[in-house]
Amino acid sequence: MGRDRVRVVSSAVAVLATAALLAGCGGGSQTATLNYYVFSEPSGSFAQAVSDCSKASGGRYKIVYNLLPQDANAQRQQLVRRLAAHDSAIDIIGMDVDWTAEFATAGWIRPWTGAQQQQVTQGVLPGPIATATWNNQIYGAPLNSNTQLLWYRKDLVPKPPTTWTEMIQDAEQLARQGKPHYIEEQGAQYEGYVVWFNSLVGSAGGQILNGNKVALGPPAQQAATIIYRLANSPAADPSLSNSKEDQARLAFEGGKAAFEINYPFVWPSAQKDAPKIAQVMGYAAFPRVLPSMPARVSIGGINLGISSYSKNPSLAFQAAACMANPQHQKVNAIKGGLPPTLASLYDDPSLAKPYPFHALIKQQLTSYGIRPQTPAYSDVSLAIQKTLSPPASISPATAVATLTSQINASLTSGALL
C-alpha cells in the first residue's frame, strides 16, 4: 500500500513538473488569440484565409478578423491612435501600402527578417516589394496589389489610345459626333486624386519626393497640365471634381463614357450589372504621358504588418505568412478581385478567365510607380489634394511652386494624426 501511494505521488509530481515546464516554454494546450485588423473584404476571401490558417495551426493560434472602416483615412486614424498607445490587442495589421514608412519610423511594426522574410518575399513582383520596404528593411508581407488600367468602349474606339493626348483627342472627336465620350477619372479631393497625379508625374519621368526632399519639376507641370486640360475639355464628365472609383464605374456602366481609368474590379462589375456594356468593354495599359516612355502607375494594395506590441509576435508572423501564401492570394484574386503579388500566379491558368488582362497587371506591377515614401505621407497627400482641387481651377504655371511650398510644410508635421 505504501509503495503504491509513493508511485501515485511521484507520478503526480512528474505531471505537474512537465506542465510547468511546458507553460514556462510558451507551450501547453492553450490556444493564442491573434487579432487581425484589416478592411472589410466583401467576398469572404479574407475570412476564408483566417479560418484556413487558424485550423492549419493545429491549435497553436486562432486568428480573429477585426474589421476596420472602409475609408482608408479612417482606418489609419483608428490604428494610429491605438498603436501610439501601445495597444497589445493588435497583432496583425492589414496596412495600406502608403503606411509603411510612417508605421516603421514610429516603431509600431516589426521588421520581417531571416527565413520569414524570405518566405513572404520570394517570387513577389518588384512593385509590391518596394511598397513593403523602408530604409532597406521589409516591414510587411505583400498580400495583394492593385493597379489601374484603361477601360474603353470597343464599339466607339476600335483602337485604344496609347497616350493621354490621344485619349483626350479621341473623346473630343466623339463629343463632336454626339456619341458617349466622357473620360472617367478620380478628381475628388481624396487619395484617389493623389494616385492620378502621382501616376502622371511618374509617367512623365519624375517623382514627387527624392528621399526627404521635394523633387517636383517639369514632370509635375506636365501632370498638372494634363489634369487641367481634361477638366476643361468636353471630354470631362461634369462630375469630375466629385468623382471617386465607384462613381467612375457607375458612369461607365451607365453608357455615358467612352473611357475609364480604374482598377480591375470594374470588369466583373460590368459583367454582372451592365452586360451590354461588358460586351463592348475593352482594356489596355494605362495611357502614357510621353509617347516614348511606358507609364509608371501608382500601385496600391495591402501588406501585412506585425505590431510591435503584440504579446505573440512569433505566432503572428507565422499566421501572416500563412494568409499571404500562394493558395490564399489565389483565392483573393479569383473570389475577391484582388490582384496577387506573386509573379507565378499571373501564369496560373485558373486566373486566365477572371483576369484576361493579367499580363497587363503583371507588366504594370513590374514597371511600377509608388506614391511618396515618407513618414509624413498623410500630410503630403493632403497637401496635394488641396493644392490641386478642383481640377478645372488649377494653374499649371504656378501649381509646381505652390505644391512645393505646401509639401515642404507637410514634411515637418510629424504626420501622426
CA dist., res. 78 & res. 75, Å (int): 5
Print pLDDT tens along the chain (417 aa): 443 433 333 443 343 333 333 343 444 469 999 999 999 999 999 999 999 999 999 999 999 999 999 888 899 999 999 999 999 999 999 999 999 999 999 999 999 999 999 999 999 999 999 999 999 999 999 999 999 999 999 999 999 999 999 999 999 999 999 999 999 999 999 999 999 999 999 999 999 999 999 999 999 999 999 999 999 999 999 999 999 999 999 999 999 999 999 999 999 999 999 999 999 999 999 999 999 999 999 999 999 999 999 999 999 999 999 999 999 999 999 998 899 999 999 999 999 888 999 999 999 999 999 999 999 999 999 999 999 999 999 999 999 999 999 999 999 864 444
Helices then strands, each counted (H, E), the chain: 17, 16
Strand 281-284 with 149-153, pairing: antiparallel
Nearest to 32 by CA among 54, 12, 5: 54
CA dist., res. 180 & res. 257, Å (int): 5
Which helix (H) or strand (E) segment holds residue 291: the answer is none
Cβ of 2: how many Cβ atoms within 10 Å?
6
CA dist., res. 167 & res. 46, Å (int): 37
- pLDDT of the residue at 23: 40
Query: Based on the number of CB atoms within 10 Å of its own CB, is 290 exposed (0-12), middle (13-18) or buried (19 or more)?
Result: middle
CA dist., res. 244 & res. 232, Å (int): 18
- pTM of the predicted protein model: 0.89
* Structural domains in the chain, sorted by start: 29-146+300-369 (3.40.190.10), 149-298+374-410 (3.40.190.10)
In this structure, what DSSP letter does residue 308 have? T
The amino acid at residue 83 is L
Residues in Cβ contact with 346 at an 8 Å cutoff, skipping those fewer than 6 apart: 340, 355, 358, 359, 361, 362
Nearest to 99 by CA among 301, 313, 245: 301
- pLDDT of the residue at 11: 41
In 122-244, which ranges are continuous DSSP H helix? 126-131, 164-176, 191-203, 218-231
- pLDDT of the residue at 17: 39
Which helix (H) or strand (E) segment holds residue 380: the answer is helix 377-387
Query: Based on the number of CB atoms within 10 Å of its own CB, is 230 exposed (0-12), middle (13-18) or buried (19 or more)?
Result: buried
- pLDDT of the residue at 14: 40
- pLDDT of the residue at 133: 98
Chain position carrying cell 530604409: 135
CA dist., res. 222 & res. 397, Å (int): 10
- pLDDT of the residue at 327: 97
